[in-house]
Structure 1
């Protein structure tokens, strides 16, 4: 990498921040971890303890030279030319921010007979119980979601002591249905005015028959007058209520 100009780098160390996600390629393995080229002035080191969650005996048990990987910035010191990386996704959602009713987007990471585990950026994945996967009966979670699916969920309950999060897809679906029904049921001001106008027009007493053209013109004018009065009445009512 010596002799390269700064403008050939995809990233400059001074621009990198902790938790920033990057893509890179493993260039060398050692007893203490793996070096990864992310396109910066220096290769970054993923310490063996940061290759994955849990104990790792050897770096080659997790990655191989030449492998493309996703990494996150752990620490960066531009003055010292030091770049520390991690392959463990940083926690984006802290426990004190998780509350019932909170809407989140996440990725399905594991399926069990009793439900689906979803990574929402917290310390641990949350569980969508099989009964919370859909508004309809579900016998097998794989009938609704697959590993890798991006889904929207709602927090049902949390147990900070046990580090457990209960999630629901059903709650999100029910809220969407309620919103759609509310939108269908509430008419706009124009729709309301037209309904009122048509209703008043239907209730008017029949007049003495005259020529078809004259009747048509009169009915059109009456409808326009009724519509105009109705709209003005709606505006006055809205203003007085404020």
Structure 2
């Protein structure tokens, strides 16, 4: 799975640094079609990327900056937003400019190699390391390898519903995702995330009646306030007039009822907001899922279920 990792994960490896240190190393990488990484220094007026790569400064011609740039299916913003960030590339040739060696690079080639590899090897249920690259109200865009993009829809981020993906993720965050499907004809990889954050029983195992813990209000109803204890676990607290969606609160756990998949809570106090989303706890980070069922054994409710075909 790590043959073509998300951009940034090769940058400081000894293999990458050694290949970028000498002309011989670059030639060897070019002959092997080895994917390397460097950091983009600037994007010039013609939208060529100038890249710092160890002992050398390389150039990625505009049409080689990403899959789809040459035919217009990828927008120019995909080039502009790379400035200051690591990118993956292959070395296409090494030119000599006034005595200085100038490697000519292709990010598009690295992306094509990564995408072909992923499309040919991935199966539904496989777990991938990915990096969050962009957040929209409808989902989180992630790098699945060499800058190849996929998206996790907001409904697949967690069991607990959230108003925006920034409640869970930050740009640049390294996370895991499960392959929901592979569309080889369209060259698309479909991802999900909630299944990696544990079942109801796995999440409730860290709590017990009598505890007072912190949570986040995720919905106000006439009959109570839903409070998220973990991204995949919520309970129902009695209404208080001062509670609002998104509030952090401390809650007293009155009861945990597996047969009804319910947690009864009592809101104690409002808490200051957090500066960043809480760290995620993953219950699985490798291997392959076949079936995921959220509800506990013997529960009358069906609960969420994912079958990876």
TM-score (norm: length of structure 1): 0.52
2:11 is equivalent to residue 11 of structure 1: no
Structure 1 residues 122 and 38, CA gap change in structure 2 (3 angstroms): closer
Please point out which of 166, 170, 174 is paired with 1:142. 166
Give yes or no for contact 2:91–2:106 (8 Å, CA) kept in 1: no
Gaps spanning 5+ residues in structure 1: where?
Answer: 1-9, 182-242
Q: Deviations over 1:64-122 (max 9, x none)?
A: xxx75634442255798662224556353521111111111111223333322221117
Structure 1 residues 160 and 174, CA gap change in structure 2 (3 angstroms): same
2:248 corresponds to: none
In structure 2, C-alpha distance between the alignment counterparts of 1:37 and 1:112, rounded to whole Å: 30
2:278 corresponds to: none
Q: Deviations over 1:14-37 (max 9, x none)?
A: 1232311123645x9586945545
Give yes or no for contact 2:37–2:88 (8 Å, CA) kept in 1: yes
Structure 1 residues 114 and 33, CA gap change in structure 2 (3 angstroms): closer
Please point out which of 144, 147, 152 is paired with 1:128. 152
Higher strand share: 2
Which protein has the larger Cα radius of gyration, Structure 1 or Structure 2?
1
**1:23 aligned counterpart, secondary structure:** strand
Greater CA drift, 135-144 or 67-76: 67-76
**1:161 aligned counterpart, secondary structure:** coil
- Count residues in correspondence: 166
Structure 1 residues 158 and 121, CA gap change in structure 2 (3 angstroms): same
Aligned CA RMSD, in angstroms, stands at 4.2
Structure 1 residues 44 and 112, CA gap change in structure 2 (3 angstroms): closer
TM-score (norm: length of structure 2): 0.42
1:38 corresponds to: 53
2:185 is equivalent to residue 161 of structure 1: yes
Structure 1 residues 165 and 79, CA gap change in structure 2 (3 angstroms): closer
Structure 1 residues 37 and 154, CA gap change in structure 2 (3 angstroms): closer
In structure 2, C-alpha distance between the alignment counterparts of 1:113 and 1:36, rounded to whole Å: 32
Pairing 1:25-104 to 2, within 5 Å after superposition: 25=41, 33=48, 36=51, 38-40=53-55, 43-52=57-66, 54=69, 62=80, 70-75=86-91, 83-86=103-106, 90-91=111-112, 92=114, 93-104=117-128
